[in-house]
Amino acid sequence: MAENSSYILPVVDSTSVFKEGIFDGRVLFCTGGGSGICREMTEAIMRHGANAVIVGRNLERITKTAKELSDATGRRCSPAQADVRYPKQVQDAVSKTINEFGRIDFVICGAAGNFLAPISQMSENAFRTVIEIDTLGTYHTVKATLPHVRASKGSYIHVSATLHYRGTPYQVHVSAAKAGIDAISAVLAVEEGPHGVRSNVVAPGPIAGTEGMDRLGSKEKDASNRDTGMIPVGRFGHVKDVASAAVFLFSDAAAFISGVVLVVDGGSEHIRPVTLPYPRSVLDPESVKTMIKPRL
């Protein structure tokens, strides 16, 4: 769509837009922060002054990530091992955060699982697993953190997707899970607004370089070689685009914004084709069978 590169909107780092130190003294609790979009969101929040705790199942990975984030930002980032499907583990991670930092101001609910499979070949267990990670994991995280977010009059960001805005083939499990997340956030915004708590959703579209894009989209590693004809701004998204959205929603600039879904997709949702969005190479029945087991 955007043939002239001079009209392609650039990737902008949040540190060039927002003042330094706007999150000084704040503490972020982030599930799924060990990699991908949630890691970038955590780094952006930390670069503006916050300390953070990242939560994940793989202790080695989140420990490594926490050190890298601390070194890169000069702020403190601690790992907390937990599987969001189990409330007690999430509660323990919250307790660790309070013991170390004394408060929780911001929460990113970002733990997720995904794979490609048609309804006809998806097992009940595979469907249930994604619901448990995405939707129940979000609920467990909200329940465990809410007393502390109330105390700080803080804010939630829930990481969703754009899959369920239309019927997206081979994504019934994630579409159902993310629709549930959107609903949780909306109810949370209404119920907890009187307590000074805000809740919003960030829904990333085609973000290059992420595991989801690599696994569910084209196998072409160089995003510049992929077709951007259906993205009005003329390029694929970058993790920094999502991170900047998170900085905005947590900032005082968004103090009157709650209960919304902020789509970060370069406008592509408005012109997304109704045909199957995946390359034929990932739609082969034999290939689909190998993807039924979700990667958590």
* C-alpha distances out from residue 61 to 93, 123, 224, 294, Å: 16, 29, 29, 19
Total-model pTM: 0.86
Show the tokens assigned to 104.
């929780």
- Which stretches of the chain score pLDDT less than 50? 1-6, 218-225, 290-296
Q: What is the predicted pLDDT for the residue at 241?
A: 93
Helical ranges in 36-171 per DSSP H: 36-47, 59-73, 87-101, 124-130, 137-152
Query: Can you point out the beta strands (E) in the chain?
Result: 27-31, 51-56, 77-81, 106-109, 155-159, 198-204, 261-264
Written as one letter, the residue type at 251 is S
How far is the C-alpha of 108 from the C-alpha of 154, rounded, in Å? 11
Taking the C-alpha atoms of residue 130 and residue 173, their distance in angstroms, rounded to an integer, is 6
Residue 10 token pair: 């650039």
**What integer pLDDT is reported at residue 292 of this predicted model?**
46
Give residue-wise pLDDT tens across range 53-76: 999 999 999 999 999 999 999 999
pLDDT at position 124 is 95
* SS3 assignment, position 294: coil
| pLDDT reported for residue 288 | 52
User: Could you list the active site residues?
Assistant: 160, 178
The domain limits of the chain are 17-289
Give domain 17-289's CATH number out of 3.90.1150.10, 3.40.50.720, 3.40.50.300, 3.90.105.20. 3.40.50.720
Helix (H, G, I), strand (E, B) or coil at 118: coil
